């Protein structure tokens, strides 16, 4: 019996990876509970197990207790307590094991799909991946082996719940650590990462060894390393950007492959104005703004990408607005316009925020901020010189458009007079000349108006019979009153 108990404890220790001391304490607690159930709740009952020989020592005070005398019910109670203790210990071991893997990548096998949630088999426990942590274009079939990021570990009673993710940005970092030994050895450091799951990722790397090319090491020979990472992420594109302490260089590399004409930094607004050639504008912005959006998140700068013409127009607007402010030099105005400041930006800042601009005095900073706020406060009443000039240039075009409109309206009016068509048909013809969407809206409005007119006509037709009926009823009542009066007069004449 004693040897069998030791073999049982050793088997549970190896299978469940539970400490032997925890198992011995669980058995002692189970036997103590069974003894108190058999002999009553006594504090004098003591039960211990020898760790070396496996002997069970049970005493009620100074009197020894034979475990065989506990009975069948007490033995069943002891069994349940032992099972409960072992399950608790096993749950604690599993929790500690996966807590050590928190924020790491593990392999899992798709077990089943329940609605929009994917259940993974992680060996000793199941992993849960909700819809929000799944890449939109990924499909999961039972039996597929997938690398997942451990997002969280939680205990729910005796169960351990592991939350998995495939959309977290750190999964890309862990995959680089797996595929690129230089990253795992900290020779190459990942300085930043911006990701749109399933679409594109930009990652900034820096080598601490000048003999190691950070980009080349991450790509591998003929792209062998990066291909494995891209395949694991389901074909997600990855841009590897060399990190630089100089913001201009870093932003330029982050916007690659677009060619950059110039970059102007505005530290007060944490904004970078990037000017690119006209043919490179769409490439710098990217599909649906993805390239510049990821570059802004990677560099931590708000990036405004514009062409040379747009930059000149913005600078001209700022110059025209600030030229009305007295006490501000032309050099200061030109410098602010070159940095990409707008009137709205200057109105929101404080004077001390502008002191970072070179050769700007405190008095100029105060005048600029107050002037910008005054220009915004005046609103539409204030017209800038550039705006007036634009209106004067646009006025001839407006006159030409009005003449063309008058010429098109005169034939239509003559046709209406000669044919004698109603105004509704003229409105229909003018509506047909408008775009398709506007014509559809007009048709809907006209249909509603016609329906409303029909409803009014029906209501009037239904009300008129009621009026006739009321008139007939009043006439019949008058005739009845006249007949009654004549009969009363006749009766009075007879009586007289």
Q: Residue 139: give its domain's CATH number.
A: 2.40.50.140
Both 108 and 189 in a single domain?
Answer: no
Task: Please give the C-alpha separations between residue 252 and each of 126, 188, 207, 304, 305, in angstroms, as whole numbers.
Answer: 45, 21, 19, 13, 11
Residue 275 lies in a domain: no
Gap between the terminal Cα atoms of the chain: 142
Q: Residue 366: give its domain's CATH number.
A: 1.10.150.20
Residue 279 lies in a domain: no
Residue 278 lies in a domain: no
Coil, helix or strand at residue 57: strand
Q: Residue 85: give its domain's CATH number.
A: 3.30.1480.10
Both 108 and 91 in a single domain?
Answer: no
Between residues 23 and 129, the one the model is more confident about: 129
Could you tell me which of 136, 150, 55, 56 has the C-alpha nearest to residue 95?
A: 150
The enclosing H or E element of 114 equals: strand 105-114
How much is the mean pLDDT over the chain? 76
Domain edge (last residue) among 196, 211, 243: 243
How many residues comprise the chain? 496
Coil, helix or strand at residue 197: coil
Most confident of 82-91, 226-235, 351-360, 374-383: 226-235
Residue 423 lies in a domain: no
Residue 400 lies in a domain: no
Domain edge (last residue) among 194, 217, 243: 243
Both 91 and 10 in a single domain?
Answer: yes
- Give tens-digit pLDDT for 8-20: 788 887 877 788 8
pLDDT of residue 416: 41
Residue 199 lies in a domain: yes
Contact at 8 Å (CB) between 137 and 234? yes
The pLDDT-based confidence of 231 (bands split at 50, 70, 90) is: very high
- Give tens-digit pLDDT for 412-457: 344 343 333 333 343 344 334 333 443 344 344 344 445 544 554 4
The enclosing H or E element of 150 equals: strand 145-156
Both 138 and 190 in a single domain?
Answer: no
The C-alpha atoms of residue 373 and residue 377 are separated, in whole angstroms, by 6
Query: What residues have CB less than 8 Å from 147, skipping those under 6 apart?
Result: 105, 106, 107, 108, 171, 175, 232
Both 84 and 71 in a single domain?
Answer: yes
Q: Residue 234: give its domain's CATH number.
A: 3.30.300.20
Whether residue 71 is predicted with pLDDT greater than 90 in this model: the reply is no
For residues 423-446, one letter each, b for 16 or more C-beta atoms within 10 angstroms of the residue's C-beta and e for the rest, the string is eeeeeeeebeeeeeeeeeebeeee
**Alpha-helical segments (H) within 133-220:** 170-179, 181-184, 214-219
Give residue 365's domain range: 309-386
Give the count of domains, the chain. 4
Report the side by side order of strands in the sheet with 262-266. Answer: 262-266, 271-275, 302-306
Residue 395 lies in a domain: no
Average pLDDT over residues 364-383: 72
pLDDT of residue 191: 94
Whether residue 298 is predicted with pLDDT greater than 70 in this model: the reply is yes
Contact at 8 Å (CB) between 308 and 264? no
């Amino acid at each position: 019996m004693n040897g069998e108990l030791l073999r049982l404890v050793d088997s549970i220790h190896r299978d469940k990876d539970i400490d032997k001391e925890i198992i011995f304490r669980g058995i002692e607690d189970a036997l103590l509970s069974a003894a108190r159930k058999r002999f009553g709740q006594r504090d004098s009952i003591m039960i211990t197990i020898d760790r070396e020989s496996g002997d069970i020592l049970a005493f009620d005070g100074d009197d020894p207790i034979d475990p065989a005398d506990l009975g069948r019910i007490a033995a069943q109670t002891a069994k349940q307590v032992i099972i409960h203790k072992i399950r608790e210990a096993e749950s604690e071991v599993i929790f500690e094991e996966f807590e050590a893997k928190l924020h790491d990548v593990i392999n899992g096998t798709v077990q089943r799909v329940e609605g929009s949630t994917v259940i993974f088999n992680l060996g000793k426990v199941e992993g849960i991946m909700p819809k929000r942590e799944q890449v939109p274009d990924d499909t999961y079939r039972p039996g597929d082996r997938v690398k997942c990021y451990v997002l969280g570990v939680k205990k729910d009673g005796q169960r351990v719940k592991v939350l998995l993710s495939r959309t977290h940005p750190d999964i890309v970092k862990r995959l680089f650590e797996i595929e690129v030994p230089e990253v795992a050895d900290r020779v190459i450091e990942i300085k930043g990462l911006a990701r749109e799951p399933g679409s594109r990722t930009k990652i900034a790397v820096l080598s601490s060894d000048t003999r190691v090319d950070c980009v080349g090491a991450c790509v591998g020979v003929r792209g062998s390393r990066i291909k494995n990472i891209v395949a694991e992420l389901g074909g997600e594109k990855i841009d590897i950007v060399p990190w630089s302490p100089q913001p201009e260089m870093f932003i330029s590399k982050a916007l690659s492959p677009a060619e950059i004409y110039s970059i102007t930094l505005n530290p007060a607004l944490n904004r970078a104005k990037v000017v690119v050639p006209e043919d490179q504008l769409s490439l710098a912005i990217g599909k649906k703004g993805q390239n510049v959006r990821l570059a802004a998140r990677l560099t931590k700068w708000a990036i405004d990408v514009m062409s040379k013409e747009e930059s000149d127009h913005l600078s001209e607007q700022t110059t025209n607005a600030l030229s009305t402010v007295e006490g501000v030099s032309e050099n200061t105005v030109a410098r602010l316009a070159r940095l990409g400041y707008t009137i709205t930006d200057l109105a929101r800042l404080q004077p001390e925020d502008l002191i970072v601009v070179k050769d700007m005095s405190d008095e100029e900073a105060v005048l600029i901020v107050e002037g910008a706020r005054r220009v915004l406060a005046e609103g539409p009443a204030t017209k800038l010189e550039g705006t007036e000039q634009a209106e004067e240039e646009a006025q001839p075009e407006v006159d030409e458009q009005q003449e063309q409109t008058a010429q098109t309206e005169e034939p239509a009016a003559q046709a209406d007079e000669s044919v004698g068509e109603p105004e509704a048909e003229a409105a229909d013809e003018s509506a047909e000349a408008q775009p398709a969407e506007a014509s559809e809206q007009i048709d809907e409005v006209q249909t509603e108006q016609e329906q409303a007119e029909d409803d009014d006509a029906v209501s009037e037709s239904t009300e008129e019979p009621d009026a006739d009926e009321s008139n007939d009823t009043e006439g019949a009542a008058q005739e009845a009153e006249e007949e009654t009066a004549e009969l009363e007069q006749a009766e009075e004449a007879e009586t007289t």
